[in-house]
Chain A
Amino acid sequence: MPRAVKEIHQSTGVLIECDPSIKAIILKIDKDSGHGYIVEDLDDETLVVKEPKLAELKLRLEKILERTQMLEKDEESDPENPG
């Protein structure tokens, strides 16, 4: 069967493996920012993002999660040295 000569595509990036819920948030961040992060959406739990953008993405993700999650009290107290 004749076939157009096609190069195997290769791109640099960071593979992210996470829960589908986290991935949904990442998709939303990507969409809201005009698709600046994602290189390739692979499946429910995996995607590839641009490497230079990873730190920024993590930061935005943390911010969103902070709003949705109650911060638990830190169990810092030490029985021998209270306070």
Chain B
Amino acid sequence: MSGNIRGFGYLESLPPVTFRRLYQQPATALAIFRRMLPNLAKTIVTTLLYNETPVTLGDLEALVRPESYREREDAFSKLRRLHIITENNLDVSLDPVFKKNFRLAGDHHSFGVPCNAEDKKKITVQFLDDYATRQFEAILHYMVGTHNEVKPSKGVITLLTKGGLMERYGAGSSATITKNGFSFLLQDGNPQIWALLIQYLEMSEELGMEQTDVLHFLLMLGSLELGQAYSVNTLTETQKLMLADLRDYGIVYQRKSSSDRFYPTRLATTLTSESGGLRSASASMSSAMAKDAEEGKGFIILETNYRVYAYTDSPLQIAVLNLFVKLSTRYPNLVSGRISRRSIQEAIKMGITADQVIDYLSAHAHPQMRKSLVTLPPTVVDQIRLWQIEGERMRTTTGFLFKDFHSTQEFEEVAKYAEELGVLKWKKPARRCMFVTRHEQIADWLKRRAQQQQPKKVAA
């Protein structure tokens, strides 16, 4: 991934204490279960949930087919890292706090207390969708510098500059978009929102807000129901403060800041949709944005001669296209231009990857283009990728170097394990060196192996 926009995955790096505190709320425990665990890990959690006594690791592993070794390791590693399971020798049980609160999930005030009193003015789902779209698009418009009737609040602008999506040179000058900001624009809706919220989480700490409180609230939003009003009274002081900010992002709606109820918008209720349903969650968002659906569904035609025609008059879409297309002509409802080596390499210099460009083009391809077997002309797609490689002098992979293995045998074992996990990037047996993309599972494995071997050595 280009740039350093942190998404939802960032939460995994929080310290154990934070997780323990997070699990004190059923809604949060459920949200983490739904959104952060792979399916196999969910099965393991449900297996353990109503077992009063610990289950042996062997029994749990027997649930998984031997050939799904990689998935199994992945699931266990995730559960360990999120501190959902605790292990005592070979006995596995759920974290007691997690277990207790996960059982409560479903009916608890941490899921928000619905406000059943009739609102004076009926708030429709359509209204909420419009509101969310308007607020969120205002942020995107502001980033590309187009004029829009809704201007984002000061808080939003601070968030964008703090998060490195925009930059301000000098105190009085207006902010301009950064490299990170460009790749942010090309992302899907849900990752965009999470990127903003993670930044918000960091900032809230600086402002002296309780981090777990903030996280509880964010994760709770995902389990609320669209179109339902929720009471403000059960929220903590921190969370009440947050409402004002979340209003600015279009995540919740309140008629007045003094109102005793708030409505989550679709941006909120899709926050913790299951990771598998992510695409569809953002798709449901865009199809819900009725006005945009027509344009958003597909407005780009890409021809084999690298010409691009985009049926749009949205300044936002034109600005995004302008990142990687050399636009030449503009008509009232159409812009046309051309993708060229230079336009792509300029985009790459800004931190946009060829894949992001291709994804964007195919996500917004005109219905006419979708009629053919392959949406985008393969020659153009290949060329875009080639242009990217051409500019690269070297291939880089972030990860971890392991060296100084005790023996060739140990090296080979670890290398084999890493390969099975799919994290091995490079190895050199002659030097007993290897490079892996993720180290947590290997470190875990080494630790457990060392523990298993220790007694044997003593005995021998």
Contact = CB atoms under 8 A, between A and B. Distances in A.
Interface of A: 3, 6-19, 22, 39-40, 42-43, 46, 48, 51, 54, 58, 61-62, 65, 74-76, 78, 81
Q: Which of A8, A51, A58 has the most CB of B within 10 A?
A: A8
Contacts of A76: 326, 340-342
Interface of B: 326, 328, 338, 340-342, 393-406, 410, 425-426, 428, 431, 433, 435, 439, 443, 446
Contact of B394 (A11, A16, A78): A16
A25 B410 CA distance: 35
Contact of A15 (B340, B393, B399, B443): B399
- Top 5 nearest A-B pairs by Cβ distance? A18-B394, A9-B404, A15-B397, A17-B395, A15-B435
Nearest to B443: A10
Given A9-B403, A17-B395, A42-B431, 16 more contacts: A8-B410, A9-B404, A10-B400, A11-B400, A11-B401, A12-B399, A12-B400, A13-B401, A15-B401, A16-B394, A17-B394, A17-B396, A18-B394, A48-B401, A51-B398, A76-B326
B395 A13 contact: no
A74 B394 contact: no
Given A18-B394, A48-B435, A76-B342, A40 B403 contact: yes
Contact of B401 (A7, A39, A61): A39
A82 to B, nearest CB: 11
Q: Which of A12, A48, A65 has the most CB of B within 10 A?
A: A48
A42 B394 contact: no
Contacts of B326: 76
A42 B399 CA distance: 15
A42 B406 contact: no
A29 to B, nearest CB: 12
A16 B341 contact: no
Contacts of A81: 328
A13 B428 CA distance: 17
Given A39-B401, A75-B341, A15 B446 contact: no
B406 A16 contact: no
B406 A6 contact: yes
A10 B433 contact: no
Nearest to A79: B305
A15 B342 contact: no
A3 B401 CA distance: 23
A18 B402 contact: no
A76 B306 CA distance: 12
Nearest to B407: A3
Contacts of A74: 340-342
Contacts of B428: 42-43
B328 A40 contact: no
A61 B393 CA distance: 9
